[in-house]
Chain A
Amino acid sequence: MNSILAIINKDFKSFFYSPVAYIIIAIFAALSGVFFYLYTSNFIEAAFMDTMRSQQYRMAAQKFNVNLMLIRPYFWNIALISIFTLPAITMRLYSEEKRAGTVELLYTTPIMPVQIIIGKFIAGLLFYIVLLIPTMFFQSILFMYGSPEFFPVLSGYIGLILMGSAFIAAGLFISTTTENQIIAAIGGFALSLLLWVIGWGAHSAGPLLGGVLDYISIINHFEDFAQGVIDSTHIIYYLLFSFVGLYFSTKMIESVKWRA
């Protein structure tokens, strides 16, 4: 346990030694901020137009649901930004240790491969949560000026963190296979792209193939979370995905270690 904490502590801090981390935080905040602004202004415009119309025609104003029209698509947006940001977080997580030769320290001190992997995974997840903080700030604005339902927001973040775990576990595995960060990043992006495209394909493919693709696609499992539904099948899917990623990462370093 202490060894895991040692790795979490070291790797979480080490994100901030590199300027890349600040660039990622800045880009993530900027993108999620711009999309928040666009969604919010669209929503306000639509609501405003409706009010105008209802006054003109003396009709009851339509009910505009913030959760449905703003928060839900916004979560989708964050999910999409996330899957293309996470490879940049995971790329150096293990590759850097191999490149710098510090694996020689990790492999000759009494820490087990599984502890190294879990520590790095948690460090990556914590950094992802840091990335999400600005979006929480944006959404809190909605609560200051309106009264959206809180639960869908909570479930959205739970979904993001679960989906993030799956991507981080997969990215960590890619990172264990190479000592080159750039290759690890490209591999991670390729995987994200593939999973994203599969999600798209699922909607346009036939019922049978579509069903299969829909299940494989990491991002489609996020759908329910974004609309405030916490379904155990999706939780299990993400946990299983993360577990498999961590399992293979551990096996990878155990075997690479024995081959080096």
Chain B
Amino acid sequence: MISVDGLTRYYGDKRALSDVSFHVKKGEILGLLGPNAAGKTTAMRILTCYMPPTSGAATIGGYDILSQSMEVRKITGYLPENPPLYHDMVVNDYLEFVCRLKGIPKDRFSIEIDSVLEKTNLGDERSRIIGKLSKGYKQRVGLAQSLLNNPQIVILDEPTVGLDPKQIIEIRELIKNLKGEHTVILSSHILPEIEQTCERVVIINDGKVVAEDTPENLTNHLKGIERVFLQVEGKEEDIRSALNSVKNIKSLNIDSVTDGIVKVSIESDVDLRKKLAKTIVTAGLGLVELSADRFTLEDIFLHLTTKEEAA
């Protein structure tokens, strides 16, 4: 449905995107994940025909973004990073204006507007002035606008920014409901968001794609490694020497020492929890806490992006 092939974009001398390629299948939700200045907004602006790439190509619903930009725009709904709102306008008038821009026939305005207001839970605000809405509600109006005309493709740039936790959950639900009927690309630098809503993730850093997979597969990537956190009462040297006797420890790190409690993190190929507990207890040290920790997308993200920087 969306196919991106070698997009590169320069701003003057600065390269914001280099050779970015990915594909999105029909009905899929793709997460574009990356830290600030990674190039997420740049990529989305290119896909929505706001600006052209310096080189590379992309098609949306089979239409080329450069030569068939009007067709692309007809089937795409876009929520920019800063919602494009006219602050003096009333919500309903604004949505009506967007209906006209999108070429929706006049007799369908009210059906379309009612439907997006319902989806974004904005029904009660329809006759309020946009400038007087709270930030979260402005964001919703932006989202409502992008969903007008029920576009096949929906591109959302950080849709949950500025929302409170309750609203975030609502918007995530909304996005999940788009799945199947719509093809969605959504950007974020918040990992749990991507993990919860997206079926596939493209991680970009410094303008380059550093990983592309399902959230599960990315976690499995580092699955071989088990991580254990320990809090032990005792002297640092005693703890070290006791733990040195345990086999299969890949790395051992003393994170901090406070009030005689030492925090240790251990990585290994195998599950060492039982062995570690036994060793500490038999060495006469006080085991305060022991917990296992899986790698989260966060770790993978840091792992990938720092590796990239080192290279």
In this complex, the member of A3, A109, A257 whose beta carbon has the largest number of chain B beta carbons within 10 angstroms is A109
Given the interface pairs A109-B73, A258-B51, the reply to whether A101 lies near B100 with Cβ below 8 Å is no
Distance (whole angstroms) from the CB of A92 to the closest CB of chain B: 11
Which residues of the other chain, B, contact A10 by a CB distance below 8 angstroms? Answer: 86, 89, 97
Interface string of B89-128 (1 = CB under 8 A from A): 1000000011011110000000000000000000000000
Given the interface pairs A10-B97, A101-B82, A257-B51, the reply to whether A108 lies near B88 with Cβ below 8 Å is no
B78 within 8 Å of A (CB atoms): yes
Distance (whole angstroms) from the CB of A250 to the closest CB of chain B: 16
Given the interface pairs A14-B88, A101-B80, the reply to whether A107 lies near B50 with Cβ below 8 Å is yes
Task: State the CA gap A14–B97 with chains docked (Å).
Answer: 12
B50 touches A104 (CB 8 A): yes
Q: Considering the complex, which residues of chain A in the window 227-260 have a beta carbon less than 8 Å from any beta carbon of chain B?
A: 257-260
B86 touches A110 (CB 8 A): no
A108 touches B78 (CB 8 A): yes
Task: State the CA gap A112–B84 with chains docked (Å).
Answer: 18
Given the interface pairs A2-B100, A6-B97, A6-B101, the reply to whether A108 lies near B49 with Cβ below 8 Å is yes
Q: Which of A2, A101, A108 contacts B73 (CB 8 A)?
A: A108
B101 touches A106 (CB 8 A): yes
Q: Which of A5, A17, A104 contacts B88 (CB 8 A)?
A: A17
Given the interface pairs A100-B86, A110-B73, A258-B52, the reply to whether A105 lies near B100 with Cβ below 8 Å is no
Which residues of the other chain, A, contact B88 by a CB distance below 8 angstroms? Answer: 14, 17-18
Which residues of the other chain, B, contact A5 by a CB distance below 8 angstroms? Answer: 100
Q: Considering the complex, which residues of chain A in the window 1-53 have a beta carbon less than 8 Å from any beta carbon of chain B?
A: 2-3, 5-6, 9-10, 14, 17-18
Which residues of the other chain, A, contact B76 by a CB distance below 8 angstroms? Answer: 108
B101 touches A3 (CB 8 A): yes
Query: Which single residue of chain A is at the shortest CB-CB distance from B94?
Result: A10
Task: State the CA gap A14–B89 with chains docked (Å).
Answer: 8
Query: Which single residue of chain A is at the shortest CB-CB distance from B129?
Result: A17
Q: Which of B48, B86, B97, B100 contacts A108 (CB 8 A)?
A: B48
Which residues of the other chain, A, contact B152 by a CB distance below 8 angstroms? Answer: none
Which residues of the other chain, A, contact B51 by a CB distance below 8 angstroms? Answer: 257-260
Which residues of the other chain, B, contact A9 by a CB distance below 8 angstroms? Answer: 97, 100
B235 within 8 Å of A (CB atoms): no
Distance (whole angstroms) from the CB of B297 to the closest CB of chain A: 29
What's the A-B contact tally at a CB cutoff of 8 Å?
72
Which residues of the other chain, A, contact B89 by a CB distance below 8 angstroms? Answer: 10, 14, 17
B132 within 8 Å of A (CB atoms): no
Q: Which of B86, B101, B145 contacts A14 (CB 8 A)?
A: B86
Q: Which of A102, A104, A109 contacts B86 (CB 8 A)?
A: A102
Interface string of B60-91 (1 = CB under 8 A from A): 00000000001001101010101011111100
Task: State the CA gap A105–B73 with chains docked (Å).
Answer: 10
B52 touches A105 (CB 8 A): no
A110 touches B102 (CB 8 A): yes
Given the interface pairs A108-B73, A108-B78, the reply to whether A101 lies near B84 with Cβ below 8 Å is yes
Distance (whole angstroms) from the CB of B279 to the closest CB of chain A: 60
Task: State the CA gap A102–B82 with chains docked (Å).
Answer: 9
Q: Which of B49, B70, B98 contacts A105 (CB 8 A)?
A: B98
A111 within 8 Å of B (CB atoms): yes
Distance (whole angstroms) from the CB of B75 to the closest CB of chain A: 10
Given the interface pairs A110-B102, A257-B50, the reply to whether A104 lies near B84 with Cβ below 8 Å is yes
Task: State the CA gap A44–B244 with chains docked (Å).
Answer: 113
12 residue pairs bridging A and B, Cβ less than 8 Å apart: A3-B100, A10-B86, A18-B88, A100-B86, A101-B82, A102-B84, A104-B45, A107-B49, A108-B50, A110-B70, A258-B51, A260-B45
Q: A104-B45, A104-B50 are in contact. List 9 more A-B contacts (CB 8 A).
A: A6-B101, A100-B87, A101-B84, A105-B101, A106-B101, A107-B50, A108-B49, A258-B51, A258-B52
